[in-house]
Amino acid sequence: MVTFNRADACAGTETVLLNIGPQHPSTHGVTHILVELSGETVVAAKPILGYLHRGIEKLAEYRTWQQDLVYTDRLDYVSQIGNEWAYCRAVERLTAIEVPERAEWIRTLFCELNRITSHIMWYAGVTMDIGTMGTPFIYAFKARERIYDFFEAVTGARMMYNYFRFGGVRCDVAPGLLEDIHDYLGGEFLELMDDLDALLLGNEIVQSRMKGIGAFTTAQLVEWGITGPFLRASGLAQDLRKDAPYGAYDKVEFAVPTSTVSDSFARCEVRMAEMREAASICRQVIERMPEGDISVKVPRLLKPEAGEVYVRTESPRGELGIYLVSDGGPKPYRFRVRSPIFYNISALPKMLPGWKLQDALVIFGGIDTSMGEIDR
């Protein structure tokens, strides 16, 4: 349990206010954290959001159900496929659309590929946070760009994919490409993961900066609404892919990496292990990919019956929820997003006090932020 007495820390000392951010290269997006320091110790912290505000939730209520799909890519812009899937699942549940089996397997494949690229972006960012300069960053991007080649071959884009559709996916995947993905994830990718492990987990400087830093109990994290790898590093194997399976997750074998140490280093270990598990899921999906249709026909102007729905998915950062309300018209009456990053970053005022300023940056890096999903 982390305990901190602000009065004792500030006794006889003049505190100083320090702005962390909102310069982009420093904070994984346009983040601004106002910290109060007593010497080098953080006594208070306040995340200030809104610099990237896009108004997606309100904009979506003035567009048709189909038009809103393009907005989902721009929420967590590092985990676009997971956003598309969450929204599609919500609309499909609201309209009772049945998704063909092959489409569900393709969705699972690309969601796990996107989990890898998302974690790679976290890896590149957190290594810069702790001062490892550019080597791990460049190594990480080697894997990211190769996987982006696969996305581009199918969707035509390297970031904003707009690939999922209500009732399936936009286009099929060529057998030759599936073989290329399978071979890469079982060979070159695993070799590169060994290098990434050595550069991060095997680095004694990284260990000295991260071990014992930001250790919180499971009870604290649950109280704060923390989900995803940050929570699993405390020992709680909470993962919606296991707890409430969707897609093809109940048809493949995979572990949910956890740790009981619950410090910043444990969060690194969990995410590194998750990348290997995601590669294994992708290879199993390719090996067992069924034949069949990749989509079903839906009306060009969708008008779900009046009602509401809430759907949860396991994004790379935790529980992503989509809440929709239909009034029977062609547009959502309400569109709301349960952002895992918003909950995680909202806990900073309770996480950071008591730690040194340099430790606060390490703790923040462990959240794995993507500001588009917060300022929605």
Domain ranges for the chain: 6-374
Residue 131: which pLDDT band, with cuts at 50, 70 and 90? confident
Indicate if the pLDDT at residue 1 is higher than 50. no
The Cα-based distances of 185 to 201, 202, 225, 273, 278 in angstroms read: 21, 22, 33, 14, 9
pLDDT tens digits along 178-216? 999 999 999 999 999 999 999 999 988 889 999 999 999
**pLDDT for residue 366:** 86
In tens, the pLDDT along 45-89 reads: 999 888 877 889 999 999 999 999 999 998 888 899 999 999 999
The reported pTM is 0.93
Q: Which of 355, 139, 364 is nearest to 267 (CA)?
A: 364
Nearest to 124 by CA among 112, 134, 111: 134
Average pLDDT over every residue of 229-252: 96
Q: What is the structure's pLDDT at 284?
A: 98
Where residue 12 falls (left for φ over 0; alpha for ψ -120 to 50; beta otherwise) is left
Topology of the domain covering 6-374: Cytochrome-c3 Hydrogenase; chain B (1.10.645)
**Helix, coil or strand: residue 44:** strand
Which range among 56-70, 134-148, 217-231, 282-296 shows the weakest confidence by mean pLDDT? 134-148
Q: What does the chain come to in residues?
A: 376
Please report which helix (H) or strand (E) contains residue 307, including its range. Answer: strand 307-315
User: pLDDT for 304-339, tens place per residue?
Assistant: 999 999 999 999 999 999 999 999 999 999 999 999
Distances (CA, A) of 41 to 9, 35, 348, 357: 8, 10, 15, 6
Residue pair 26/373 in contact (Cβ under 8 Å)? The answer is no
Q: Residue 327 has which token pair?
A: 């009034």
Burial 314-344 (b: 16+ CB within 10 A, else e): bbbbbbbbbbbbbeeeebbeebbbbbbbbbb
Computed over every residue of the chain, the mean pLDDT equals 91
Q: Which positions ≥6 away from 218 have C-beta within 8 Å?
A: 231, 234, 235, 236, 262
Residue 150 parent element (H or E) = helix 135-155
Residue type for position 235:
G
